């Protein structure tokens, strides 16, 4: 149970439920383009269909009042919410964390990202970002499957945190690469959803993760 | 014409048009909570009502494919789009900039933010952020009215860029503080929209800006 399927476009009713029942699929992650196009009602219907881990990924990066107002319609429907560590604590992540705690929801902080441009500012700021993660104490962190060395570093630095890794598939990382480096979940979007048969594609990715884990000696994965 | 009214909740039909016709109001900025609740159709109707500067402010901070997909429904309706500089160039802002250029839309990059937590990571990274701004060459940048020293620094560093400053009102900065430091627009949300009469409140803020500018010796403001 280490695969999170990223929905970056609205999907037909029923498909999210089918994806969540594929062996190895832990849940779904709804992105901003999908939520804007599909609307809050669509996002809630996805959450109703899927009884796995339901993640809202808007890469929140604003002051606390705006982030709080953004997540409110999804509280009680989704389990976890992704925000950028970059925005810092006071007046931003402190308020979001309090709101999510009081709603019984989980906070996931981006530690760095999967694309080349993450080397421009995010990576050089990693020590500062790690201090924000320490202070905010989120449930999970996001670290890129495309750069497994960073996943290993963050696994060592934050042994108790759940690690979610994007970048598998269209962005170049192979299924299992981040799991072998210490991640709990791999997030896969386009290489599942941009196929003619997303359910079968999800099955294949989950199987590839299992094979990779067997060969790297990984044990039971998928926190929660 | 130096006041941008921030809409962080959906407003009734007609109100955005009234606000945009208040003397001194340059346009509107639509935030993520409003766009999610109101939907794409509501956001487009706001743009139709207002013939000033229309800004989409989702604080975009993702890989280029996701940011592109996020802004697409708003292209042709809005003039400018705000993204975070800290996500870097390759695979992120490069793709967004190309898309906006080809659509005749403007990119605005956040250089740093208005809340206390901006001191955690954003401020120490300012030299790296400034290099991203140089490389991406956006139309405008966002710098906080709450910290006019940063507005002055960025005005000196980027003389040709339009500067948008949030933080006036609820966050503590006085109308005109950022304009006197070199900003082109001040963004005001709650202290206009959370009143019984937003049109009158906008008129008062615009008048306060004028008075502040007169006393600091500022000239004609409001780029575009």
pLDDT at A204 over 70: yes
Report whether B176 contacts B196 (CB < 8 A).
Answer: no
Lowest pLDDT segment from A108-122, A189-203, B20-34, B208-222 = B208-222
Q: What is the pLDDT of residues B144-203, one digit of tens each?
A: 999 999 999 999 999 999 999 998 887 788 999 999 999 999 999 999 999 999 999 999
Query: What's the CA angle centered on B220, arms B107 and B28, to 5 degrees?
Result: 40
Q: What's the average model confidence in pLDDT over A38-56?
A: 97
Q: Which residue does chain B place closest to A189, by CA atoms?
A: B66
Q: What's the average model confidence in pLDDT over A189-204?
A: 95
Among candidates B122, B115, B86, which has minimal Cα distance to A96?
B115
* Residues in A touching B39 (Cβ below 8 Å): 36, 39
Residue B223 is predicted with a pLDDT of 44
Residue A132 is predicted with a pLDDT of 98
CA distances from A65 to A71, A91, A95, A125 (A): 10, 8, 7, 25
Q: What is the pLDDT of residues A133-188, one digit of tens each?
A: 999 999 999 999 999 999 999 999 999 999 999 988 877 889 999 999 999 999 99
Report whether A167 contacts A149 (CB < 8 A).
Answer: no
Confidence band, pLDDT 50/70/90 cuts, at residue A125: very high
Residue A217 is predicted with a pLDDT of 79
Alpha-carbon dihedral sign for residues A172, A176, A181, A185: positive
Residue A223 is predicted with a pLDDT of 45
Four-way CATH pick for A3-212: 3.40.50.300, 3.20.20.70, 3.40.630.30, 3.40.50.720 = 3.20.20.70
Q: Do B117 and A92 touch (CB under 8 A)?
A: yes
What is the distance between the alpha carbons of residues A80 and B185, in angstroms, rounded to a whole number? 36
Residue A224 is predicted with a pLDDT of 37
CA distance B204 to chain A (A): 24
pLDDT at A36 over 90: yes
Q: How far is CA A128 from the centre of its chain?
A: 21
Residue A219 is predicted with a pLDDT of 55
CA distances from A130 to A11, A85, A143, A175, B198 (A): 35, 8, 12, 26, 41
Lowest pLDDT segment from A7-11, A90-94, B138-142 = A7-11
Residue A194 is predicted with a pLDDT of 94
Report whether B39 contacts B223 (CB < 8 A).
Answer: no
Q: What's the average model confidence in pLDDT over B206-216?
A: 95
Q: Which residue does chain B place closest to A131, by CA atoms?
A: B120
Q: What's the average model confidence in pLDDT over A65-80?
A: 98
Residue A97 is predicted with a pLDDT of 98
Which token pair is B205?
Answer: 């803020």
Q: Of the candidates A31, A35, A89, which has its C-beta nearest B120's C-beta?
A: A89
Q: Do B121 and A120 touch (CB under 8 A)?
A: no
Q: Do A93 and B117 touch (CB under 8 A)?
A: yes
Report whether B115 contacts B142 (CB < 8 A).
Answer: no
What is the distance between the alpha carbons of residues A47 and A40, in angstroms, rounded to a whole number? 11
Q: What's the average model confidence in pLDDT over B96-106?
A: 98
Which token pair is B221?
Answer: 């403001």
Which token pair is B164?
Answer: 């948008």
* Residues in A touching B87 (Cβ below 8 Å): 113, 115, 117-118, 121-122
Q: What is the C-alpha radius of gyration for chain B, rounded to an integer number of angstroms?
A: 16
What is the distance between the alpha carbons of residues B21 and B27, in angstroms, rounded to a whole number? 9
Q: Which residue does chain A place closest to B69, by CA atoms?
A: A33
Q: Do B32 and A93 touch (CB under 8 A)?
A: no
Whether the complex's predicted ipTM is more than 0.90 is answered with yes
What is the distance between the alpha carbons of residues B134 and A6, in angstroms, rounded to a whole number? 33
Q: Do A87 and B122 touch (CB under 8 A)?
A: yes
Which token pair is B22?
Answer: 């208040």
Report whether A62 contacts A81 (CB < 8 A).
Answer: no
CATH placement of domain B3-216: 3.20.20.70
Q: Supply the mean pLDDT for chain B.
A: 95
Confidence band, pLDDT 50/70/90 cuts, at residue B219: low
Lowest pLDDT segment from A8-17, B3-12, B201-210, B214-223 = B214-223
Report whether A105 contacts A80 (CB < 8 A).
Answer: yes
pTM: 0.96
Q: What is the pLDDT of residues B2-19, one digit of tens each?
A: 999 999 999 999 999 999
């Amino acid at each position: 149970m280490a695969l999170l399927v990223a929905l970056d476009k609205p999907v037909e009713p029923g498909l999210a439920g089918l994806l969540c029942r594929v062996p190895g699929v832990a849940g779904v992650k709804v992105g901003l383009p999908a939520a804007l196009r599909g609307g809050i009602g669509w996002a809630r219907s996805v959450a109703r269909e899927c009884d796995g881990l339901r993640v809202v990924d808007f890469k929140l990066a604003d002051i606390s009042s705006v982030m709080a107002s953004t997540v409110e319609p999804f509280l009680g429907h989704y389990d976890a919410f992704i925000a950028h560590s970059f925005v810092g604590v006071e007046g931003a992540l402190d308020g979001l964390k309090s709101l999510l705690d009081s709603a019984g929801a989980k906070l996931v902080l981006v530690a760095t990202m999967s694309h080349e441009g993450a080397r421009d500012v995010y990576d050089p700021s990693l020590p500062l970002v790690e201090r924000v993660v320490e202070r905010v104490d989120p449930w999970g962190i996001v670290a890129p499957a495309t750069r497994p060395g960073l996943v290993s570093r963050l696994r060592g630095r934050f042994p108790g945190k759940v690690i979610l890794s994007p970048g598998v598939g269209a962005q170049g990382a192979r299924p299992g690469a981040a799991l072998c480096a210490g991640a709990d979940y791999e997030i896969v979007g386009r290489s599942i959803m941009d196929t003619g048969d997303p359910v079968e594609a999800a099955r294949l990715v989950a199987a590839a993760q299992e094979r990779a884990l067997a060969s790297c000696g990984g044990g039971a994965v998928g926190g929660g």
